Amino acid sequence: MTTPLQPHDDQAPQAAKILGRRQWPLPRHAVAGAPLLEVEDLKTHFELPSGTVHAVDGVSFRLDYGEALGIAGESGCGKTTTALSLIRLLPSNARIVSGAIRLYGIDLAPKTERQLQRYRWREISIVFQGAMNALNPVQRVRDQIAEPLEVRLAMSAREARTRAGELLELVGIPKKRGAAYPHELSGGMRQRAMIAMALACDPAIIIGDEPTTALDVMVQAQILALLERLRDELNLSLILITHDLSVIAETCDRVLIMYAGRVAEEGSVREVFARPRHPYTQKLLSAFPNIQADRRTLDVIPGSPPDLRTPPPGCRFHPRCAFAMPVCSEVVPPEVTLADGVRLACHLYPAGTDGVPVTVPPANAVGPTVPLVVSPSDPPPERLEEAV
Ligand code: SF4
């Protein structure tokens, strides 16, 4: 789905009011016909005293107008770092090493902090996990929603408050509840307030970083329904980061499976969930409960994700892969795109392959080199958030 470019004018946004979707013109340097968002060979690294963490290492994907993309994978696979790199909300010891992040064809990667302000919240905004931590506990919810309107869109305090009330209504909170402090709202209402804040500047893209993880299943369903409604009504594009594959199956058009900072498989939700090709995707899906499948013991992915200061050579999944062949520990598998549009990086599917899922290890498979079951006495994998 594409949206025609509007007349270029960088000055108008200062005075623009949000009257509906995309009221202000696109940035002056927008490229006609460019996809909404195109990420190419993105590399984001963290510098630690003990070494460089290759958290995102050559990730590419694309997001179109009105599309919802889910990014999934185990903890520490780089999905949140990928999303935070888009608007450079990274810790001080992280940096984008190379790659392009093209929004309307404009590369955001080389932009300065000041130049990026034109795009944060106004073009790409984010809903964080755990609204209680993300909201200011000593500021009324309405005022927190009004703040980006005053700062980014130069609205008067009065206009901003009125608009904040409208945004609260839009996400299903009576506007008079905007006078409450975050602790006076339920978990679901707080998350709705976060969504209202993300919508405040009428962005083209909203990133949801585990937006429903801290909520019970009923509230989770309501928040997902809300996101779907808003996507539909406002022609929003969504990037949902989650480890919950059912959230992606319900909400997204396409899914990107990440492993150890790289793309394992990417394609339409229907195709990838019905016919997973990459051994990691197959394991991930079989480790997830399926209400429609026969009762069975859930699968286990042996071992744990690698230390990204010293990732394994070749395919980073090879120490855990039952299909691993001698080539897998030596050569990085190139990305190939199959006839049905699914993109994946695995030596089982060389260029020109027919795309039929391989479900039995090949004759020359050497299998995983880690034990099948992680012992409770094994040390937990090092967590990036503890390290930075
Ligand atoms: Fe990686 Fe080889 Fe397993 Fe494919 S078969 S996932 S390339 S280890």
Q: Which atom of ligand 1 is nearest to the CA of 280?
A: 6
- CA dist., res. 194 & res. 206, Å (int): 11
- CA dist., res. 126 & res. 236, Å (int): 13
The residue whose two tokens read 């990417």 is 266
Ligand 1 mean position to 84 CA, how many Å? 28
Q: Which atom of ligand 1 is nearest to the CA of 278?
A: 6
Pocket test for ligand 1, best of 277, 284, 325, 370 (most atoms within 8 A of CB): 325
325, part of any domain: no
> Which residues, 6 or more positions from 338, have their beta carbon under 8 angstroms from its beta carbon?
277, 344, 349, 353, 355
Q: What is the pTM of this model?
A: 0.86
Q: Which atom of ligand 1 is nearest to the CA of 345?
A: 7
Ligand 1 mean position to 51 CA, how many Å? 26
Ligand 1 mean position to 254 CA, how many Å? 22
Residue 45: CATH number of its domain: 3.40.50.300
38, part of any domain: yes
- CA dist., res. 94 & res. 378, Å (int): 29
Ligand 1 mean position to 367 CA, how many Å? 10
Ligand 1 mean position to 327 CA, how many Å? 9
Look at ligand 1, atom 4, and give the residue with the nearest C-alpha.
346
| Residue 250 lies in domain | 19-258
pLDDT value of residue 258:
97
Ligand 1 mean position to 264 CA, how many Å? 10
Q: Which atom of ligand 1 is nearest to the CA of 322?
A: 3
24, part of any domain: yes
133, part of any domain: yes
Provide the number of structural domains found in the chain. 1
Sheet containing 335-337: which strands, arranged edge to edge?
124-127, 205-209, 237-241, 68-72, 254-259, 262-268, 343-345, 335-337
- The three-state secondary structure class of 354 is coil
Q: Which atom of ligand 1 is nearest to the CA of 323?
A: 5
Ligand 1 mean position to 352 CA, how many Å? 17
What is 128-142 written as a DSSP string?
-S-HHHHS-TTS-HH
Ligand 1 mean position to 281 CA, how many Å? 11
Q: Which residues form ligand 1's pocket by a CB distance below 6 Å?
A: 278-280, 315, 317-318, 321, 323-325, 328, 333, 346-348
374, part of any domain: no
- CA dist., res. 301 & res. 323, Å (int): 13
Look at ligand 1, atom 7, and give the residue with the nearest C-alpha.
346
Q: Which atom of ligand 1 is nearest to the CA of 347?
A: 7
What stretches of the chain show up as alpha helix (H) in DSSP? 79-86, 113-116, 131-134, 141-153, 157-170, 187-199, 217-234, 245-251, 269-274, 279-286, 384-387
Q: Which atom of ligand 1 is nearest to the CA of 318?
A: 8
355, part of any domain: no
pLDDT value of residue 131:
67
289, part of any domain: no
Ligand 1 mean position to 347 CA, how many Å? 6
Q: What residues of the chain score a pLDDT lower than 50? A: 1-21, 374-388
> Which residues, 6 or more positions from 313, have their beta carbon under 8 angstroms from its beta carbon?
329, 330
364, part of any domain: no
